[in-house]
Structure 1
């Protein structure tokens, strides 16, 4: 079970977008570079695109999201309105659930 998954609301704790919040749209698993996330509206970069009439692509400058390191984000706790760490608890039926470390409440309920 992963600490952060697709659909989680996170807050950026380091970098140029520090303090901004967004939802994880894609998780990119990595070995030596670590896990990265694509977060909606965060870490936007500009890319110059050449026009391609065959593919129907119009040229220009396009803004797109770039991956951000997992160490630079924390899950957003709506109860405290701050970033939080993720822990795990095992329920009585044997299932494993993610919890906020500060409040011990289950994530996603």
Structure 2
């Protein structure tokens, strides 16, 4: 069991899955309320909301894996809440991923 200890349920993991579920719920509502036509962006191929979500999730995974490979997950700050909440450098990768997702949804 020690080999999978790194897979622990943490606050960032919980936030990721809550946001993923919220994204899927909003996109389902959008698909019902506002049916869409395919859109052609900078890639010059027709894409839908689902296509752009898939591309943005794959991009986020690649960004996080590359971040871990190059920079690691060291603590960059400690918030003075409760006993002190440590912020991992992965939060910076998350911010980059969100910015890239917005760019993908706007341009692809």
Greater relative contact order: 1 or 2 (C-alpha under 8 angstroms, separation 6 or more)? 2
TM-score bin (small chain): under 0.3
Q: Which has the higher helix share?
A: 2
